[in-house]
Each structure stands twice: as C-alpha cells, then as structure tokens.
Structure 1
C-alpha cells in the first residue's frame, strides 16, 4: 500500500472473513512492527459487527486511525499520513468460533516533493516552465498578441506532485475590454497579459 505524506490518506486492508461463513468477528487489533501493543482496536463482542467499540492509543498514530466496519471493506484509515507512518502493520482478527487470522500489510509513504506547475488551454499544454524557490513553486504565463478571438478563453494552472493524489487546479478566464476614445474604438491587438500561479 502507498500513501503520500501530508495530505494523504492510507487505507490498510484486513482479512477478517472467518473460515465459516456463519461465524462472527469479535475483535480486530492493529499493531505496527516494533511494538508489542496494539495502537487500535475494534470490539464487537456483545453487539453487531457494524456497531462495535473503537479504541485508539493516545499517540499520534492512534488518534489519526479509524476502522471502516462495513462487511467486506474492513480497512484501517490513517489520516494525515507522515513519513514516520511507513512500515509493516499487522491486523489480528478474533472470531466467536473460527481461528484467529493475522494479515500483514506494508505501508510505503512517499514524501511531499515539489509540484510540477503547468498551464493548459482547452486540454492542451501551453507552458511547463515552472521554477522552485524554497517552498514556493511558480509558473508565470504571459499571453501575448491578444486578439478578439482570445475573449473568454479559460487558462488552467495545474499542480501535481504525485500519482497518488489528484492534481490541484485553478482556472482564469480571459476577459478583454476595449477602451473607447472620442468615439474611436481602440483594438487590444498586441496587448499582453501575464498571470502568475504560486503553490
């Protein structure tokens, strides 16, 4: 499993299907390699599987964890993933009659690389010359030789730093205003506009 540091959400699957289709799950425990104590549990003893009791350790990992208890979708969700969350996890599932099941999953956390910032027009790449300055990445788009045909064009600035997260975008619509002097209409031909997209 992979997740991106910062804004990412990790979904760790757990095989909790009992050997007997009629058996019910009583308890799910999550451990991280290197620790003998669980950091998260979901207890359904005395209740329905979908109405169990959630418990999380008071450390950062426990507070950011939550189990999705829907049958067939037992996944531990870890929010605000950080690089220290990377590692091997073990899910232990106890049942009323079936043997205990253990499942292991490795979580790979990708750091937060600087984004690629590009400008697009009608689905076509217009400019991919971004620059990095410390924590700031920017791409300056300058549209030259404006014509009336440019009116209403929608330019989109797209930022992406991982295939695991959808890109972020912002769009700018081009509005051209013609100034009038003494009844004469002056065309904006040759005028240029510039936008800067900082992320």
Structure 2
C-alpha cells in the first residue's frame, strides 16, 4: 500500500496537494481527474479532458479557491486562503484513456495559532493586566500560562530575557523566588503550534517590594 503523505499549511495560506497523473501505458493521457474529501459524499473538484476540451469544476466549499495544475510535476491541486475546515483526508482519482485508474491519498492539516493566552497566579485567578504583584522580595511566585485553542496543541514556554524558564504542552507553570533584581523585570509566555506560523506571546512585568537596606 502506498504511504499517505501528510501536509501542513497555515490558516490563510495556500497548499499544493500532489496527484499522480502519469499513465502506466505509453501514448496514453489522463481523461478525468476527480478529487474527494473524507466526509463529503460527492467530489469536491473535477477536471475533464475526455472530449479534448479541458473542463474544471469545484464545489461550493472550494469555489474559486481551487485550481488544478496538470503541467507541474507532480500535478497539484492548489488550495488558497486555507480555512480550518479544509483539514482532512483527500483522494485524487485519475481515469486515463487506456491505463488503469490511479489514486493518490494524502492528509492535510491546516495550522491554527492559539486564540489567546491565559495567565493565572498561584491562586488560580487570571491576571488581566500587564503587571503582577506587588510581591515582597523573597516571595516565591507561581505563574501558569495556558494556550486556548490552536491546532495542533500549542507548545507553551516561559522566558526571562533569552533564558528559558519552563516549557510544556498546552500549559506551563513557572516558579521562582523574587530578588531585588526582579523589580520591573518582564517575563514572557509564548505559545506556538508549529514552526510555520508565528508564536503568540504575552509579557508580564513583576512589581517587587524591595527590602530596606541599611548602609
């Protein structure tokens, strides 16, 4: 069995879905190309060359977003302005004039960034501003960052300057004891679903009540 290719592309971008249109017999050519998507009872796209005139058709879900390039190698169905619902399993069926029918299968995942980040304090309450505290110097602070939504599940990390503090899937918790040098320091929660799309981030500034130092 031929392996099923997996493709990834960001929401709003475009993707090229490959299809094998090479006939098994010499002096042959493709006659009909039919694209199916799992969950749809009828084809989503067709290209018909059997009468010597090329005819394209796409269903309402694709509309003008779909086009087939038979002269590229491999031939591809180009989908533009990708939507989350474009994710799924596709099958390209090619009927030739003389050669046996060919099928190409693939999976498409449309990448979605997280909708937003939620930052919680040690009591589980959401921090809505850009400043956390004030805390007394020497206090242990616990902050949790949660990525809401996104596909695939986001990788969440905490950063202080360029230092990685914590890194986990879907949510990450950071704990540290406040020092005088932490006053006004920004720490950043960052979430990314895939390297192909930009991460989502939130900065939090720490307000510290510094101990009085007797000189």
Q: How does 1:78-93 map to 2 (within 5 A)?
A: 78-93=79-94
User: Normalization by structure 1: what TM-score?
Assistant: 0.53
Task: Please report how far the alpha carbon of residue 69 of structure 1 lies from its aligned counterpart in structure 2 after TM superposition.
Answer: 1.8
Distance in 1 (alpha carbons) for counterparts of 2:112 and 2:83? 8
User: Normalization by structure 2: what TM-score?
Assistant: 0.50
The change in CA–CA distance for 1:3 and 1:79 in structure 2 (over 3 A counts) is same
Match of 1:75 in 2: 76
Contact 2:92–2:105 under 8 Å retained in 1: yes
Contact 1:40–1:62 under 8 Å retained in 2: no
Task: String of CA shifts for 1:131-164, please: whole Å, max 9, x gaps.
Answer: xxxxxxxxxxxxxxxxxxxxxxxxxxxxx99643
- Unpaired segments ≥5 residues, structure 2: 1-6, 116-160, 163-191, 199-215
Query: Matched residue of 1:19: which SS?
Result: coil
Distance in 2 (alpha carbons) for counterparts of 1:65 and 1:43? 15
Higher strand share: 2
Match of 2:196 in 1: 164
Query: Matched residue of 1:46: which SS?
Result: coil
Task: String of CA shifts for 1:84-126, please: whole Å, max 9, x gaps.
Answer: 1100001000000011111111001110358xxxxxxxxxxxx
Task: Please report how far the alpha carbon of residue 52 of structure 1 lies from its aligned counterpart in structure 2 after TM superposition.
Answer: 1.8
Give 4+ residue runs of structure 1 displaced > 3 Å after superposition.
160-166
Aligned CA RMSD, in angstroms, stands at: 2.8
